Chain A
Amino acid sequence: MSVVKIEKITKVFAGGVRALDGLDLTINDGEFFALLGPSGCGKTTLLRTLGGLEAPTSGAISIDEKDVTWVSPGARNIAMVFQDYALYPHMNVRDNISYPLKVKKFSKEEIEKRVSHAAKALSIESLLERRPGQISGGQQQRVAVARAMACTPNLYLFDEPLSNLDARLRLEARTFLKQLQRELGVTTILVTHDQSEALALADRMAVMDKGQIKQIGSPAEFFHRPQNTFVAAFIGSTPMNLLDGVIKSSAVQVGANTFAIPALAQGKVSEGQEVVFGVRPEYVTLSSAAGIGIATGAVKVTENLGTHYLVSAECNGILFRGTVPDGNEPKLGSIVHLTPEASRTLLYDKTSGNLI
């Protein structure tokens, strides 16, 4: 229902902290967009700027081609769900949901209709007369979403809405949020520091660091082709192998190991160039014998991941990680041959950190 366009947004706080640094971003109509990044990267500031709670130092924000940079938050027709839900403790659930509607001067009948509709959609009908302090965290979260939904906004802003739930509930709420967003079809922006949440929920996502966007794309792109070493190290449930190397006689020399130049980087590197060789442990398997492009070494650590074991081996001075199916895990200290899948390897420039 809405296209959000952010142009060259910069936010410098009073103390001189540069929270947003000339950031450009376009969010498409009906998209579930996730902003991901370590704490202090500026993702929440960006969301608050979109909501109008922070004024940008420079730059422009438009919603549906309309410049809203200096429009008051209330006039933007957006709804925000806060990390702490911000349910008013002195009002019961019904009043909490209807408060924004009262502010927007809807008729009594319309308010009643919308409250009961939102309550039904989120199955919180039985809680309407209770106070926020009398319901559980998961229920509070639903009430907060219902309150946002009843306003029928053009844009939802979610500020880590799941981080206050316990692990089990978080998974349920995640599925439920995604389903709800599909049904409503309203553009949604989610801020999170939990990459699994972003990967699971988002149609597209952006990883931020130090007020800048490091990569924008679909969750699959993030997983398979991180554009720089920052994103590569940040995304993934197991840490990616990122090893310093040099290009030597048409191969990547990492310590005393030799790997083939990844297909993507073919012809783009020169002899002697310093690079970072990257491959996800998920794409590194065990083979029976040593050879070219295979790292051989003694097992240092094995970690149980459920269906797989994460095996870390010291191969000629480097620590190399691979995964092994459950049941085949090697013994500590035994010699293994770790083979990266050739099509899954990536090469980064050492100085810029960007994908070659």
Chain B
Amino acid sequence: MARKNKILEKSLSERVTTTIFIALVVSFFMLPLLWLILAPFDGAPSYRLKIPHFGLQNFEEMKLNPYAYRSLMNSAFFSAGTGLMVILVGAPASYVLSRVKFKGRDSFLYLLLLFSSIVTGSAAMVPLFLLALRLNILDTYHGVILVLTGGLIPAAIFILKDFTDSIPKSYEESAQIFGASSFRILKDIVTPVIRPGLAVIFVWSFVQAWGNFLVPFILIRDINKQPGAVMMYSFYNEGGQAVIRLVAAFSFLYTIPVVLMYFYVNRKYGFRFYGGIKG
């Protein structure tokens, strides 16, 4: 009995230590997030974290900046465009790579993945700029979307191919035996079955494009076309000081879509997949 108590006591003190430790670590990461949530509603925000005097003045002030709201719309456009392009190009490619076996397929896939980090990386910015110049797509929406898509496509194909691999071929084969055409099989069977994968890839590309700074920064000249990620760096006053009120409100709005998308996908698909196959 005494022995048992000792074990319990030990585990209790151990648990208290662990909990305190975890709480410290979590608060370290939570404080900036808390600032992100509280500061936008504070009439006089600073870098310090404090209980705000609630008010929406910061958002009102943001309206006075002619580019702030517009840049968020631009961001949404870039991100949605990129997400759609990635799905449009990546889904057929990954389906073929999953279903058709050819020599060197796997090395091809890994090579793709290797290249993916290059396309939107800073090393490729000069050639990308020159390429965009020659193609006459500098300072256009589609130019940015194409470059972002190019950077995300390899990883998207890689993930989607893996997902498609996990879907039994017998779905398609049974439809084939029932006389469905290839197009019909794609439309009625394959697309609905891989839809969770497509949704995840769409959200992933959306978020990647949403947060990308370098590509629009280099390819877009017109301030009316700049996305939020670039715009945020322009919130300075004449003295070169960051306008915290603006930055706080803007950051808050800038974060919302990504968080919402995460919740949507997590709720709808739970980041896991379902199947009608008994294993």
Contacts and interface: CB of A to CB of B under 8 A. Distances in A.
A73 B274 CA distance: 28
B193 interface: yes
Interface residues of B, number: 24
B272 interface: no
A133 B277 CA distance: 8
B174 A103 contact: no
B274 A74 contact: no
A78 B177 contact: yes
A100 interface: yes
Main secondary structure of the interface of B (DSSP, over half): helix
Interface in B184-231: 184, 188-189, 192-193, 195
Nearest to B172: A86
Nearest to B273: A89
B177 A89 contact: no
B275 A53 contact: no
Interface string A51-79: 11100000000000000000011111011
Contact of A74 (B171, B180, B193, B195): B180
A137 to B, nearest CB: 5
Given A100-B179, A103-B184, A82 B276 contact: no
Nearest to B191: A90
Interface string B165-187: 00010110111111111001000
A13 to B, nearest CB: 11
A258 B173 CA distance: 56
Contact of B178 (A84, A132, A133, A151): A151
B173 A53 contact: yes
Interface in A20-62: 51-53
Contacts of A79: 177-178
B193 A103 contact: no
B278 interface: yes
A74 B176 contact: yes
B177 A52 contact: yes
B168 A84 contact: yes
A131 interface: yes
Contact of A80 (B171, B177, B193, B275): B177
A51 B276 contact: no
A99 interface: yes
Contact of A86 (B173, B188, B274): B173
A86 B170 contact: yes
B168 A73 contact: no
B227 to A, nearest CB: 35
Contacts of B279: 84
Given A86-B170, A99-B188, A53 B274 contact: no
A52 B174 CA distance: 11
B276 A80 contact: no
A51 B193 contact: no
B278 A80 contact: no
Given A82-B174, A99-B175, A103-B175, A133 B180 contact: no
A103 B278 contact: no
A88 interface: yes
A90 B180 CA distance: 17
Nearest to A136: B278
Contacts of B168: 84, 86
A137 B179 contact: no
Contacts of B178: 74, 79, 99-100, 103-104, 151
Contacts of B180: 74, 100, 103
A89 B179 contact: no
A80 B172 CA distance: 12
Interface in A87-127: 87-90, 99-100, 103-104
A90 B275 CA distance: 8
A51 B174 CA distance: 10
A80 B176 CA distance: 10
A228 B235 CA distance: 88
A84 B168 CA distance: 9
A90 B195 CA distance: 10
A164 interface: yes
A79 B171 CA distance: 13
A140 interface: yes
Could you say which of B174, B181, B195, B275 has the most chain A C-beta atoms within 10 Å of its C-beta? B174
Contacts of A133: 274-276
A222 interface: no
Contact of B276 (A78, A87, A99): A87
Contact of B179 (A73, A87, A90, A164): A73
A90 B193 contact: yes
Interface in B116-152: none
Given A79-B177, A89-B276, A100-B175, 14 more contacts: A73-B176, A74-B178, A74-B181, A78-B177, A84-B278, A86-B170, A86-B174, A88-B192, A104-B179, A132-B276, A133-B274, A140-B276, A140-B278, A151-B178
18 contacts: A73-B179, A74-B177, A74-B178, A74-B179, A84-B168, A85-B276, A85-B278, A86-B170, A86-B171, A87-B277, A88-B276, A89-B275, A99-B178, A100-B175, A100-B179, A132-B276, A151-B178, A164-B278
Interface of B: 168, 170-171, 173-181, 184, 188-189, 192-193, 195, 274-279
The 10 closest A-B pairs by CB, nearest first: A74-B179, A132-B276, A89-B276, A100-B178, A86-B170, A86-B174, A90-B192, A82-B170, A87-B276, A84-B277
